[in-house]
């Protein structure tokens, strides 16, 4: 039997080449999932990689309020945490926020559609990890930030750029896998 | 104790699978008679071990042994017995065990029934199956262990997700998995043939029944899944182009192409290289689907929790199985002899056309499904590809398939003329045109095309069958007896095509559906689709592990009672989850579908009412297709073997050992 032509060999090697390319792509995707820079189930906030939107909020529970400019002038990264006293997962993430604050990360809270009394009770009960707490009674600022639901957190780099975001509670897995690498990238 | 034994049986199955792989693949090289007979025994042994392991897991579920994490997380003592059993495979780890069980079943079936296959080929097939099985057993045992224990055990389990408490779910995964995993046999045959360096008509004849079995299970599985989502999720849709649905459709498309191309291999010894590639591709699609669902790489309602570590493991398995087989293909396939010439217009030509379009559709679906993650990877953009893309891309590709489907079976092998086939189909053409014109006149262009296509395919299949039994050309009684004497494969093929036509009828009919969302107080009603829907009452109902509010809706037409619908809103006490239980009534050609979304403070209920014309035909069509596959499978040449001259049979049985 005559030896098969080169073109036939190449043609029949094509499936392998295609699959190998796809496989490398899948591998890259999985690696990015592991490092936390890609989450297919996540609704990525379009703010990531952009400056935080313009806003000014009054303080709550005796704290100083803040605005975009206050965030932008910080020398260290700030984790802005949208929360609410009526939100069950927020109470769930509270101990982990405390640990984060103890480790030296600046946490600024925005209470979303919350009443002052309920907020005070909540902070007294679950601890207050925040440097500043602002109140977003109308929820308008949350809309501008594209908040999907509380709790939701944004990592703001010095200068006011949003560098990382998570919709949902900051559980240890998210902190280890996503927040810490994001902080290291900023350092 | 029992779960530990199950765990041990699982480990033993892995050891047996490893032995099966080594002995199966190397036995034929050593030409050792004992080794050659060992592979089937090992395959059966592996299956028995996995049966024991799976039974242990089910037992742990039945007796609510909460020291098993799997049971504690997905079952509870108040869960009804039926769902304690089915809950075993309603989760990640348990379903992986089911996956392995079915894979080992495939090996056992080849070991027991594959007696007409040359022993060396059978040994290699079992070796390949053992290799694949070993990989997945290793995965199950190490990173996805269903027997993981917790101590101290919780007092009650978390319970089964209420959506999954449904008889549909009990049958859906096992059937679907049988379909998915069954293609491993075709895959193993392809790899074994590449190792032996020989693909011939006999290969086509061995590979086809196995492919047909998995194809019919996959068809039925997809069908049940679609039906389940239709009535449980309460959205009234039957196919959402959800990524997980798409990855189930992909092996179906390439598998359908394979059962057609294998005919050409069997009858004409052509398309050999292509069929081998299709067999590899089909099982690769199944594996790929498993990988995508398990790794959480796709954003889907069905997705298991994201587990990139498990994903990496499966990706490595995939690289070995798919990459290895394609590497073998790249080296061996160029040397496969090509033969079997034919003219473009012929049965072979029609089957190639079928293959081209099915594979193009598969490519389109695959691209659409994988586009969002890859765009994110390459360009960092988030996009989603939804139903509009798939509808617009797949429908035009289905049209030529539908057109050719009716003509193809009437063409002769090697060289055919198209006109005689078309003249037989004049009735189909006329009816299709009438249907088309009638609906186009009423302003439903898409439905007109779809229903006309359905009429064309259905009549094509009926005419095909009528031709084969020589209806009206010989006495009716003789025609009837012919129905049982002509090859069952042709009856099966005609039924398969008929089923597809019925399916198209259902899908096209669904484009004519109407629905309304409305708030009704008891006594009030609404008109929809020629029916009057009146809310009679809303009352509480107590279920086995849920409480419900049940609405009673009377549907009348021209003042005459048609039926009473009782949609419910259920609250599952254990999980504090509420679900909608839709009320669906059918008369065979249209469904009335009511869901009850909730109540407001004034006692009014929010309802969605739907009229779905031809909806039942979607699943009926799927089941007819599966039935066609089953009838084709009972063909004499698969049961007994093709008639071979005595002189030839003898060397075929012994020469290869």
ipTM score assigned to the predicted complex: 0.82
Tell me the shortest Cα–Cα distance from B196 to chain A, in angstroms.
16
Alpha-carbon distance of B398 to B508, in angstroms, equals: 13
Mean pLDDT of B528-532: 90
Report the percent of chain B where pLDDT is more than 70: 94
Residue bearing the bigger pLDDT, B493 or B479: B493
Residue bearing the bigger pLDDT, B267 or B165: B267
pLDDT score at A41: 62
Alpha-carbon distance of B89 to B92, in angstroms, equals: 8
The neighbouring-strand residues paired with B361 are none
- When pLDDT is cut at 50, 70 and 90, the band that residue B645 belongs to is very low
Mean pLDDT of B526-544: 90
| Inter-chain residue contact B330 with A9, CB threshold 8 Å | yes
- When pLDDT is cut at 50, 70 and 90, the band that residue B235 belongs to is low
The answer, yes or no, to whether residue B9 has pLDDT greater than 90, is: yes
* Inter-CA distances, B176 with B171, B212, B215, B224, B290, Å: 8, 14, 10, 9, 12
The neighbouring-strand residues paired with B121 are none
pLDDT score at B651: 41
The answer, yes or no, to whether residue B288 has pLDDT greater than 80, is: yes
The answer, yes or no, to whether residue B644 has pLDDT greater than 60, is: no
Mean pLDDT of B333-356: 85
- Convert the pLDDT of each residue in B75-134 to its tens digit: 888 888 888 888 888 888 898 999 999 999 999 999 998 888 899 999 999 999 999 999
A32 contact residues in B (CB cutoff 8 A):
377
Mean pLDDT of chain B: 87
The neighbouring-strand residues paired with B365 are none
Beta carbons within 10 angstroms of residue B499's beta carbon: 25
Most confident of B193-197, B268-272, B299-303, B580-584: B193-197
Q: Is the dihedral of CA B614, B618, B623, B626 positive or negative?
A: positive
β-pairing verdict for B590-599 and B514-520:
unpaired
Helix (H, G, I), strand (E, B) or coil at B474: coil
Q: Which of B278-287, B318-327, B554-563 has the lowest mean pLDDT?
A: B554-563
* Inter-CA distances, B420 with B131, B416, B426, B460, Å: 50, 9, 10, 13
| Inter-chain residue contact A23 with B315, CB threshold 8 Å | yes
Tell me the shortest Cα–Cα distance from A60 to chain B, in angstroms.
34
The answer, yes or no, to whether residue B420 has pLDDT greater than 90, is: no
**Which residues lie closer than 8 Å to A24 by C-beta, 6 or more apart?**
none
Q: What is the DSSP letter of B362?
A: H
The answer, yes or no, to whether residue B626 has pLDDT greater than 90, is: yes
pLDDT score at B15: 97
Alpha-carbon distance of B12 to B47, in angstroms, equals: 11
pLDDT score at B300: 60
User: Would an 8 Å CB–CB cutoff place B277 in contact with chain A?
Assistant: yes
B374 contact residues in A (CB cutoff 8 A):
25, 29
Report the percent of chain A where pLDDT is more than 90: 24
| Inter-chain residue contact B297 with A26, CB threshold 8 Å | yes
In DSSP notation, A56-112 reads EE-B-TT---EEHHHHHT-SS-EEEEEE-TT-HHHHHHHHHHHHHHHTT-EEEEEEE
Mutate to test the interface with A, among B316, B339, B373 (most CBs of A within 10 A): B373
B367 contact residues in A (CB cutoff 8 A):
none
Alpha-carbon distance of B507 to B619, in angstroms, equals: 10
pLDDT score at A6: 86
Strands (E) in B472-621, as ranges, are 514-520, 525-528, 531-542, 546-557, 560-565, 568-572, 577-581, 583-586, 590-599, 605-613
Tokens of B493: 């093929």
Residue bearing the bigger pLDDT, B282 or A182: B282
Most confident of A68-77, B132-141, B407-416: B132-141
Tell me the shortest Cα–Cα distance from B242 to chain A, in angstroms.
13
pLDDT score at A85: 85
A181 contact residues in B (CB cutoff 8 A):
none
Tokens 């055919």 label which residue?
B416
**Which residues lie closer than 8 Å to B598 by C-beta, 6 or more apart?**
B569, B605, B606
Mutate to test the interface with A, among B281, B309, B326, B335 (most CBs of A within 10 A): B326
Alpha-carbon distance of B332 to B190, in angstroms, equals: 11
- Convert the pLDDT of each residue in B153-180 to its tens digit: 888 777 777 767 777 777 888 899 999 9
Tokens 């005689």 label which residue?
B420
pLDDT score at B562: 87
In chain B, residues 190-229 whose CB comes closer than 8 Å to chain A: none
φ and ψ of B299, to 5 deg:
-85, 110
Q: Are residues B289 and B305 in contact, defined by beta-carbon separation less than 8 angstroms?
A: no
Considering only CB atoms, A27 lies closest to which of B296, B306, B315, namely B315
- Convert the pLDDT of each residue in B433-461 to its tens digit: 888 888 887 878 888 889 999 999 999 99
User: Would an 8 Å CB–CB cutoff place B343 in contact with chain A?
Assistant: no
A16 contact residues in B (CB cutoff 8 A):
323, 326-327, 329-330
| Inter-chain residue contact B306 with A39, CB threshold 8 Å | yes
Alpha-carbon distance of B57 to B65, in angstroms, equals: 10
Mean pLDDT of B175-198: 93
| Inter-chain residue contact B323 with A19, CB threshold 8 Å | yes
pLDDT score at A43: 56
Helix (H, G, I), strand (E, B) or coil at B565: strand
The neighbouring-strand residues paired with A98 are none
Beta carbons within 10 angstroms of residue B340's beta carbon: 16
pLDDT score at B283: 96
Helix (H, G, I), strand (E, B) or coil at B298: coil
φ and ψ of A67, to 5 deg:
-135, -175
Tokens of B533: 């829907």
Nearest to B297 by CA among A130, A71, A27: A27
The list of chain A residues with pLDDT below 50 reads: 1
| Inter-chain residue contact B327 with A33, CB threshold 8 Å | no
| Inter-chain residue contact B376 with A38, CB threshold 8 Å | yes
**Which residues lie closer than 8 Å to B257 by C-beta, 6 or more apart?**
B278, B354, B355, B358, B359, B362
Mean pLDDT of B303-316: 76
């Amino acid at each position: 039997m005559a030896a098969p032509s080169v073109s036939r060999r190449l043609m029949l090697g094509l499936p392998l080449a295609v699959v190998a390319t796809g496989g490398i792509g899948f591998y890259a995707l999985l690696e990015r999932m592991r490092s936390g820079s890609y989450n297919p189930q996540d609704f990525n906030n379009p703010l990531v990689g952009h400056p935080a939107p313009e806003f000014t909020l009054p303080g709550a529970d005796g704290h100083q309020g803040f605005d975009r400019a206050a965030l932008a002038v910080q020398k260290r990264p700030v984790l802005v945490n949208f929360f609410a006293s009526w939100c069950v997962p927020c109470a769930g993430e509270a101990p982990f926020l405390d640990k984060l604050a103890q480790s030296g990360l600046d946490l600024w809270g925005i209470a979303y559609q919350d009443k002052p009394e309920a907020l005070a009770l909540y902070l007294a009960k679950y601890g207050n990890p925040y440097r500043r707490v602002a109140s977003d009674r109308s929820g308008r600022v949350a809309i501008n930030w594209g908040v999907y639901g509380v709790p939701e957190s944004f990592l703001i780099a010095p200068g006011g750029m949003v560098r990382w975001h998570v919709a949902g509670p900051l559980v240890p897995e998210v902190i280890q896998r996503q927040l810490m690498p994001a902080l290291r990238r900023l350092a | 104790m029992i779960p530990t034994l199950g765990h041990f049986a699982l480990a033993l199955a892995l050891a047996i699978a490893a032995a099966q792989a080594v002995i199966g693949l190397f036995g034929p090289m050593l030409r050792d008679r004992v080794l050659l007979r060992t592979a089937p025994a090992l395959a059966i042994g592996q299956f028995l071990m996995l049966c024991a392991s799976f039974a242990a897991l089910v037992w742990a579920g039945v007796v609510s042994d909460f020291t098993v994490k799997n049971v504690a997380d997905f079952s509870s003592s108040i869960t009804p017995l039926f769902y304690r059993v089915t809950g075993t495979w309603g989760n990640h780890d348990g379903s992986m065990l089911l996956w392995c069980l079915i894979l080992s079943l495939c090996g056992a079936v080849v070991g027991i029934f594959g007696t007409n296959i040359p022993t060396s080929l059978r040994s290699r097939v079992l070796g390949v199956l053992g290799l694949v099985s070993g990989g997945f057993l290793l995965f199950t045992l190490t990173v996805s262990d269903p027997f993981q224990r917790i101590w101290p055990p919780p007092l009650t389990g978390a319970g089964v997700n209420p959506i999954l408490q449904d008889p549909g779910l009990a049958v859906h995964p096992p059937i679907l998995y049988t379909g998915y995993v069954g293609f491993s046999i075709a895959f193993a045959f392809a790899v074994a043939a590449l190792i032996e360096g020989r693909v011939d008509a006999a290969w086509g004849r061995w590979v086809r029944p196995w492919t047909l079995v998995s194809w019919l299970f996959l068809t039925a599985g997809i069908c049940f899944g679609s039906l389940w989502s239709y009535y449980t999720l309460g959205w009234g849709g039957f196919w959402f182009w959800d990524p997980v649905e798409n990855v189930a459709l992909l092996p179906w498309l390439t598998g359908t192409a394979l059962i057609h191309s294998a005919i050409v291999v069997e009858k004409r010894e052509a398309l050999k290289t292509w069929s081998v590639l299709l067999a590899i591709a089909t099982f690769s699609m199944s594996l790929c689907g498993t990988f995508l669902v398990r790794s959480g790489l796709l954003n889907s309602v069905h997705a298991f929790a994201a587990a990139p570590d498990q994903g990496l493991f499966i990706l490595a398995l995939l690289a070995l199985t798919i990459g290895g087989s394609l590497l073998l293909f790249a080296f061996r396939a160029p040397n496969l002899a090509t033969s079997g010439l034919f003219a473009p217009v012929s049965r072979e030509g029609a089957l190639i056309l079928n293959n081209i379009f099915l594979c193009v559709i598969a490519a389109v679906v695959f691209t659409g499904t994988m586009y969002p993650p890859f765009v994110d990877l390459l360009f960092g953009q988030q996009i989603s590809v939804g139903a509009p893309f798939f509808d617009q891309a797949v429908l035009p590709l289905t049209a030529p398939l539908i057109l050719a489907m009716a003509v193809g079976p009437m063409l002769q092998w090697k060289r055919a003329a198209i006109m005689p086939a078309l003249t037989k189909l004049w009735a189909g053409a006329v009816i299709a045109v009438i249907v088309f014109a009638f609906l186009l006149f009423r302003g439903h262009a898409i439905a007109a095309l779809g229903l006309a296509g359905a009429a064309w395919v259905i009549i094509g299949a009926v005419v095909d069958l009528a031709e084969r039994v020589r209806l009206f050309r010989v006495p009716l009684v003789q025609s009837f007896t012919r129905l049982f004497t002509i090859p069952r494969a042709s009856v099966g093929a005609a039924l398969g095509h008929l089923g597809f036509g019925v399916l198209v009828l259902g899908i096209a009919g669904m484009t004519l559906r109407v629905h309304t969302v409305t708030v009704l107080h008891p006594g009030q009603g609404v008109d929809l689709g020629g029916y009057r829907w009146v809310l009679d009452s809303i009352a509480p109902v107590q279920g086995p592990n849920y409480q419900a509010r049940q609405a009673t809706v009377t549907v009348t037409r021209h003042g005459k009672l048609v039926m009473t619908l009782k949609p419910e809103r259920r609250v599952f006490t254990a999980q504090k989850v509420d679900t909608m239980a839709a009320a669906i009534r059918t008369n065979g050609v249209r469904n009335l579908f009511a869901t009850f979304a909730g109540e407001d403070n004034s006692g009014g209920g929010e309802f969605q009412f739907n009229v779905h014309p031809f909806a039942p035909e979607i699943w009926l069509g799927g089941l007819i297709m599966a039935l066609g596959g089953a009838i084709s499978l009972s063909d004499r040449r698969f049961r007994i073997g093709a008639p071979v001259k005595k002189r030839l049979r003898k060397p075929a049985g012994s020469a290869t050992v």
